[in-house]
Structure 1
Amino acid sequence: MSAAALSTTCTVEFGLGNLAGTFQRHFLCCRRFSAFPWHDLDEAVKLDSSLVLNILHKTILHPLCQKYPPSQQYRKQFLLELIKKYESTGADPLDELYDVLAEVLNAEETYKCHKSYLLPSGDSVTLIENVAIISEGTTGLVTWEAALSLAEWSIENKVYFKNRSILELGSGAGLTGLVICKSCSPRKYMFSDCHSRVLQQLRDNIQLNGYSLNTEQENQTNILKEIGNEKKTAISVIELNWELVTEQQLQNLQADVIIASDVAYDPEIIVSFSKVLRKLFNCFKDGRNLEVFVSSTIRNSETYNLFKKTLDIEGLMWQVVPDHKKIFFPYDTHCKIEMLNIALKVK
């Protein structure tokens, strides 16, 4: 084989491998179908129809999917589209495709689904999420873009979290915290929210990811410790009402890093969130030893500007944190996401 032909073959194989990996990441975290690179697949299967079988094994037949499957409807629609792409090549029928489809069609549909996110380390985070976007009056049962962006930033900036005591305000489904616990080796991580359903889902997701409930009590919360990890991260799930919590209660948590994502979408929430941040700074002498990072999807510029003004009213200042360099998780990177490093104003 000539050098030019070898180069072309290697380029094609590398491209096909990347394409299968993209389908895998999109599928495991239940990305919407319109975001999949279907057009690229149309072109690729003309060169190698076996790519469809490769994608099947990286998605529906992947061990994570077998253990923690996405919704039955999602798997069915994905398989039907994959079969359509394969049949368009005119290749001999693949019995395995239709056998897997039959299994999925016979599977029971539930109101919950699993989403799995692959980490650069080779590990993964799996979440149970509600099929509905907003359920029972809370947005905390699903993962939003700003949480994914904050999780990615944490992987590139482990120095802020290693051996630190972290409090996450409004943890939602728990994606960011689980990524930090698995990637950044914090000493202590405190998930928090105020909705009982969200708190229960948090506990479920934490245990789903290899953490077990310990009988030890600390700060009147259940402490969870990672299985098989010599340096165990103490993890707690806390019910925290921003409007009712006192400075003394916050001080008892002894956090030195505060993070939050997608909390600046409603004027009422903005006010209570800004006030609880000020209370946290009051727990420290001059507030100088507290690191605060807040990631937000800017859906409405007026609401986001109100957030910044409210921080100012509470005596807090901010600076925009530079974007992280690498994208590890599939999500809409075209939406505007901004992260602020918030600090106490210098008098």
Structure 2
Amino acid sequence: MAPQNTNPDTTDCSQHECPFTVSQLVAAMASENDILDRTTGASEEEQTSFADTIQQYWEAGPSKRFLCSLVRNYIRQLGEHNVQSEALWNLLLLALQQRHSEIPDPHQSCYVTFSMPTQQQKQLTVRIYPYHNDVALRIWEAGAVLAEFLLQHPEWVAHQTVVELGAGVGLTSLVAAACSASHVYCTDFTEVCLQNLQHNIERNQLDCTISCGYLEWEAFGNYQEASDPRLQESCEKIAQANLLIAADVVYDVCAIPSLVKTFQRFFSDSDKDDDSKTILLASTMRRRETFAVLQDELKAKGIDCNVVADGDYYAELPLVFPMNFVQPRKDVNIYVLKIGKG
């Protein structure tokens, strides 16, 4: 028999020894199942606590679609005849009044908030666009896993000058900054992504110099900054960096040659010895054939690629970013890339 939970606002996340309050799970737009698993037989007091939690985030926080779906499914699982809380009924009425079109609004943004287990117990809030067709406006599995890895091993980024490729909403870069990096520079490609990155940097006041800028891999890898002045700042920042991090950037076979050229330039285009520079790459295994292409390209460029952490390791890690991901954390590997020794 499972142990009884004495805190009505607390749930645990499957096999991970990391308790979350319902409030924390809602703030992170976690899987509905993680929240609903504790609703069976909820008392009137627990129902009211749930309703108050949702109301807390109604105007500013997770997606309204997420909240409305959660409320409807909460009551469906509880059973309408078991609803005792007036606050819960009022919340259902509010959810039913919230009108959504059949097609989600791609321009609808929301905020997700996480509590990071650092010495300062920092809270991190990022704006995402969960329905936008720009993949850089959401949080992905490998980015969350790499961020959790850095929280457990801050020595990778502490006092380092860090650059992130494909930073997206900036979650991993922000975590690197919170882990005492000396400077973090996060890069991406689209204008809407860069604007959102800047917003998230400004929203989270961290004790680290953190900035963002434009980077297109093909142009950067081929030293084309003279014809594309937008690359100039990124070229200078990357040349100064000790550590390059990247997560969920291996998903398009056509982009892999440009990505590897970017890795190669990172190692070679500086006044520092190649051996002083390192790449941490986190990749979700969606198609092994795609990753095999990356491995072949790296080998051809003389770049060694070795596993640092895999799914078995993550099973022991505290879960910090409980988003509703498509794939489990066990499908993510973290690799260290270095220039080969010959």
* TM tier relative to shorter chain: 0.7 to 0.9
3-state DSSP of counterpart to 1:320: strand
Alignment pair present for 1:13 and 2:10? no
Alignment pair present for 1:242 and 2:208? no
Q: Aligned to 2:112, which of 110, 115, 118? A: 115
Q: Report the residue type matching 2:157 in the other structure.
A: F
Q: Deviations over 1:155-175 (max 9, x none)?
A: 001111112111001101111
Q: Aligned to 1:291, which of 253, 269, 278? A: 278
Deviation for aligned residue 1:85: 4.4
- Which position in structure 2 is the counterpart of 1:80? 72
Alignment pair present for 1:52 and 2:43? no
Alignment pair present for 1:303 and 2:273? no
- Which position in structure 2 is the counterpart of 1:206? 201
Alignment pair present for 1:29 and 2:28? yes
Q: Report the residue type matching 2:259 in the other structure.
A: F
Distance in 2 (CA, whole Å) between partners of 1:108 and 1:202 is 29
- Which position in structure 1 is the counterpart of 2:331? 336
Residue ranges of structure 1 left out of the alignment (5+ in a row) = 1-7, 211-225, 227-231
Name whichever of 323-332 and 18-27 sits farther off.
18-27
Q: Report the residue type matching 2:282 in the other structure.
A: S
Deviation for aligned residue 1:112: 1.8
Distance in 2 (CA, whole Å) between partners of 1:198 and 1:160 is 26
User: Could you tell me the TM-score, scaled by structure 2's length?
Assistant: 0.79
> Residues 85, 181 of structure 1: CA spacing in aligned structure 2 closer, same or farther, 3 A cutoff?
same
**Aligned-CA RMSD value:** 2.9
Tell me: higher relative CO, structure 1 or 2? Use CA pairs within 8 A at least 6 residues apart.
Answer: 2
| 2:306–2:337 Cα contact (<8 Å) kept | yes
- Which position in structure 2 is the counterpart of 1:217? none
- Which position in structure 1 is the counterpart of 2:184? 189
Deviation for aligned residue 1:143: 1.0
> Residues 29, 16 of structure 1: CA spacing in aligned structure 2 closer, same or farther, 3 A cutoff?
closer
Deviation for aligned residue 1:301: 0.4
Distance in 1 (CA, whole Å) between partners of 2:335 and 2:271 is 20
Q: Report the residue type matching 2:337 in the other structure.
A: I
Distance in 2 (CA, whole Å) between partners of 1:341 and 1:284 is 22
> Residues 153, 334 of structure 1: CA spacing in aligned structure 2 closer, same or farther, 3 A cutoff?
closer
Deviation for aligned residue 1:319: 1.0
Deviation for aligned residue 1:113: 2.2
Q: Report the residue type matching 2:91 in the other structure.
A: V
Q: Aligned to 1:38, which of 33, 36, 39? A: 36
Alignment pair present for 1:97 and 2:88? yes
> Residues 12, 326 of structure 1: CA spacing in aligned structure 2 closer, same or farther, 3 A cutoff?
closer
- Which position in structure 2 is the counterpart of 1:252? 236
Q: Report the residue type matching 1:13 in the other structure.
A: T
Number of matched residues?
A: 307
Q: Aligned to 1:319, which of 303, 306, 314? A: 306
Q: Report the residue type matching 1:68 in the other structure.
A: A
Deviation for aligned residue 1:86: 4.7
3-state DSSP of counterpart to 1:288: helix
3-state DSSP of counterpart to 1:273: helix
Q: Deviations over 1:63-108 (max 9, x none)?
A: xx256322222211212223344555736x3122233344555568
3-state DSSP of counterpart to 2:186: strand
User: Could you tell me the TM-score, scaled by structure 1's length?
Assistant: 0.78
Deviation for aligned residue 1:269: 1.5
Distance in 2 (CA, whole Å) between partners of 1:105 and 1:23 is 22
Distance in 1 (CA, whole Å) between partners of 2:125 and 2:95 is 20
Name whichever of 279-288 and 142-151 sits farther off.
279-288
Q: Deviations over 1:235-281 (max 9, x none)?
A: 11111111222399566211111100011111122111111111111
- Which position in structure 1 is the counterpart of 2:130? 131
> Residues 154, 102 of structure 1: CA spacing in aligned structure 2 closer, same or farther, 3 A cutoff?
same
